[in-house]
Amino acid sequence: MVPKRATPPAMPYDIDTYLDHARPFFEVRLLTPRDEFLTDVTFLPHANLVATEVKFSDQIMDRNPRRITEFDTEFVLLETYSRGCTRGLSAGQHATLVNPAIVHLMDWSRSYTGIAKDVEGIGVQIPHSEVGYDPSKHPAYLALPIDSSRGRLLSLSLQLFVEALRRGPSPETELLGTTVIGMVRTCLLGQRDWERDPAQDGSRRALIEEHIRRNLGPGALDIDRICRDVGMSRATLYRTLGGGIEQFVKSERLNKCFAELAKGKREAGTVRRVAERWGFDDPGNFRRSFRASFGISPSDCLDGAPARDGRNVSDDDHPIMRLLRDRRSATGTPR
Q: Are residues 72 and 102 in the same domain?
A: yes
Q: Are residues 191 and 208 in the same domain?
A: no
Instruction: Give yes or no for a cis peptide into 139 (omega within 30° of 0).
Output: no
Residue 137 lies in a domain: yes
Q: Are residues 132 and 216 in the same domain?
A: no
Average pLDDT over residues 153-176: 91
Average pLDDT over residues 74-87: 92
Q: pLDDT tier at 194 (50, 70, 90 boundaries)?
A: very low
Residue 52 lies in a domain: yes
Residue 87 pairs with which residues in a beta bridge? Answer: 97, 115
Q: Are residues 294 and 188 in the same domain?
A: no
Q: Count structural domains, the chain.
A: 2
Calculate the average pLDDT of the chain: 77
pLDDT over threshold 70, residue 155: yes
Q: Are residues 297 and 167 in the same domain?
A: no
**Tens-place pLDDT, residues 97-114:** 889 999 999 998 888 888
Residue 63 lies in a domain: yes
Residue 143 lies in a domain: yes
Question: What's the domain range around 274?
Answer: 204-306
Residue 186 per-residue DSSP state: I
Q: Are residues 125 and 223 in the same domain?
A: no
pLDDT over threshold 60, residue 330: no
Q: For residue 78, give the CATH number of its domain.
A: 2.60.120.10
Type and span of the H or E element at 161:
helix 149-167
DSSP class per residue in 25-89: T-EEEESS-TTT--EEEEEEEETTEEEEEEEE-SEEEEE-GGGS-GGGSSEEEEEEEEEEEEEEE
Residue 120 lies in a domain: yes
Q: Are residues 120 and 187 in the same domain?
A: yes
Residue 332 lies in a domain: no
Q: Are residues 129 and 225 in the same domain?
A: no
Q: Say how far apart CA 119 and CA 107 lie, in whole Å.
A: 20
Average pLDDT over residues 31-49: 85
Q: For residue 213, give the CATH number of its domain.
A: 1.10.10.60
Q: Say how far apart CA 135 and CA 94 lie, in whole Å.
A: 14
Query: Which amino acid is located at 180 in the chain?
Result: V
Q: Are residues 42 and 175 in the same domain?
A: yes
List, in order, residues 6 or more apart from 64 with CB less than 8 Å away.
27, 111
Residue 326 lies in a domain: no
Q: Are residues 192 and 218 in the same domain?
A: no
pLDDT confidence of residue 199 = 40
Q: Are residues 213 and 153 in the same domain?
A: no
**Tens-place pLDDT, residues 172-183:** 898 999 999 998
Q: Say how far apart CA 49 and CA 172 lie, in whole Å.
A: 15
Average pLDDT over residues 14-21: 76
Residue 151 lies in a domain: yes
Please identify, among 196, 220, 253, the residue that sits at the C-terminal boundary of a domain. Answer: 196
Q: Chain centroid to CA 46: how far?
A: 22
Q: Are residues 162 and 292 in the same domain?
A: no
End-to-end alpha-carbon separation of the chain, Å? 21
This prediction's pTM:
0.69
Task: For the chain, give the longest Cα–Cα distance.
Answer: 69
